[in-house]
Amino acid sequence: MTWQEMVPLLGQATWETVLMVVWSTLFTVLFGLPLGVALVGTSRDGLFPSRAANQLLSLIVNIGRSLPFIILMIAVIPFTRLLVGTTIGLYAAIVPLTIGAVPFFARLVEIALRGVSPDVVQAAHAMGVSRLSIVTKVLLPEARAALVAGVTVTVITLVSYSAMAGVIGAGGLGDLAIRYGYQRFETPLMIATCVVIIILVQLAQTLGDAFADRLAKR
């Protein structure tokens, strides 16, 4: 395969990967953030303590965390068909990617929120702040640097998950590597794919770190 043939293939696949990762990150934050808040909130010393709710949420998260992504991805295929109407292509891949990343991100949110000083939370109670406002005006803003770091780690995890999703025909760089690198022995393309993935991960980490740093410095 020549460079002229490789570049458009790589360009297209990179774009698909970026789309998959961006969309699944958005959905992961959308579902994972409230789940993480709920994990912390329902815990014994949380704002809305409930043993039953906490154990249930924790169980769901642990199940999600213990299944290897490659298995989870296949297991949710019927659900994906129900939701998207198809199981092939990058939009279909967003479903397993999100389901795989939500429990992971929720735990990161939990860790970030637990890092907020209990002193500050107590001070907010003493000021007569409602529990919901403590979440939105104290916990989340105080944890924002750690939350950004959590999103960064999640993006990187999603880059790797999205490559695995190539196995079920999700498109993107993983798909490219499987179809050309694995099935047709196009080693140069395989290497180029790896390089692009490494660049994507580096980029995500650098941007995420810079952003988290800026928040933490204040």
Partner 1 sequence: MIQASGLRKSYGSTVALDGVDLDVRQGEIFGVLGQSGAGKSTLLRCVNLLERPDQGTVTVAGQEMTALGERELRAARQRIGMIHQHFALLSSRTVAGNVAFPLEVMGVARSERAARVAELLDLVGIADKADAHPGQLSGGQKQRVGIARALAGNPSVLLADEATSALDPGTTASILALLKRLNTELGLTILLITHEMNVVKSVCDSVAIMTGGRIEESGPIRQLLTTPGSRLAAELFPLPAPARGDVTITFTGAAEEPVISQLVRKFDVDVNILGGALEEVAGGSVGRLRVSLDGAESATALTYLRERGLIVEVAA
Q: How far is the CB of 121 from partner 1 (least distance, A)?
A: 9
# binding residues, partner 1 (CB under 8 A): 19
Site for partner 1 in 51-110 (CB under 8 A): none
Q: How far is the CB of 106 from partner 1 (least distance, A)?
A: 22
Contacts 24+ apart (CB under 8 A), 6-11: 6/188, 6/189, 6/192, 9/176, 9/180, 9/189, 10/173, 10/176, 10/189, 10/192, 10/193, 10/196
Dihedral over alpha carbons 54, 57, 61, 63 (to 10 degrees): 110
Q: How far is the CB of 85 from partner 1 (least distance, A)?
A: 43
127 binds partner 1 (CB under 8 A): yes
Q: How far is the CB of 149 from partner 1 (least distance, A)?
A: 15
Q: How far is the CB of 150 from partner 1 (least distance, A)?
A: 16
Residue type, 72: L
Among 51, 137, 184, 214, binds partner 1 (CB under 8 A): 137
218 binds partner 1 (CB under 8 A): yes
136 binds partner 1 (CB under 8 A): no
Q: What is the Cα–Cα distance from 200 to 216, expressed in whole angstroms?
A: 24
Return the number of other C-beta atoms located less than 10 Å from residue 65's C-beta: 14
Residue nearer to partner 1 on the CB measure, 65 or 144: 144
- Yes or no: say if 61 and 39 are a contact pair by the CB < 8 Å rule: yes
Site for partner 1 in 103-122 (CB under 8 A): 117, 119-120, 122
Q: How far is the CB of 46 from partner 1 (least distance, A)?
A: 15
184 binds partner 1 (CB under 8 A): no
Return the number of other C-beta atoms located less than 10 Å from residue 89's C-beta: 17
Site residues, partner 1 (CB under 8 A): 117, 119-120, 122-123, 125-130, 133, 137-138, 141-142, 144, 215, 218
